[in-house]
Amino acid sequence: MTLKKLTERKQQELEQLKIELAKAEKPFFDGSTALEFLSNIETLAAEAGCAVDSLNYMAPKIIEFKDDESSGLTVLVRRAEISLKGRYDNITEFIKQIGGNQKKVFISDLDMAINSDYTTLTCSMDITIYSLQGDKTPQVKL
C-alpha cells in the first residue's frame, strides 16, 4: 500500500472517529454551559413558582482518563443540592424545566413532604450533571 493511500485511509478513520466522538459527547455539558446551567437553577425554580429554601453547590469531582484512546480527557461531575417549596404542579414544572435540557441532567435523592398548611410541599433533591474538559481530538496512529 502506498503512503498516499495509507494517509487517505487514516484520514477517513479520523473523520469517522470525529463523528463518533460528537455523538458520544452530546449528553455532556462543556465547562461554560455547565456553570451557566447550575447558576440558573434558582431562576428556573422561581419561574416554575417555587421558593428556594437552600441551594448548595458541591465541589466538582474529577474523573480523569489517561489511556491512549482518550487523550487526557477529564469529566467533571457537578452536583447541587436544592430544597424548595411550592405546590405539587410548581415542583413538577421545575423538574420538567431542568429535565428538558438537551444535555443529561440527573435528579436523585428526591424527597417531598406536605407542609402543615396542606397546600404546599417541601421538596429536596440532588441535581447532577457531567461536563467534559481536556483534549477531545481523536488520535489516529499512522
CATH number at residue 66: 3.30.70.60
For the chain, the domain total comes to 1
Q: How far apart are CA 57 and CA 69, in angstroms?
A: 32
- Domain-embedded: residue 140: no
- Domain-embedded: residue 13: yes
Question: pLDDT tens digits, residue range 85-136?
Answer: 999 999 999 999 998 888 899 999 999 999 898 889 999 999 999 998 765 5
- Domain-embedded: residue 62: yes
pTM for this entry: 0.76
- Domain-embedded: residue 37: yes
Domain of residue 32, residue span: 3-133
Q: How far apart are CA 55 and CA 20, in angstroms?
A: 36
Q: How far apart are CA 65 and CA 115, in angstroms?
A: 46
Q: CA dist 99 to 50, 93, 103, 109, 140, Å?
A: 16, 10, 9, 15, 36
Question: pLDDT tens digits, residue range 43-64?
Answer: 999 999 999 999 999 999 988 7
- Domain-embedded: residue 12: yes
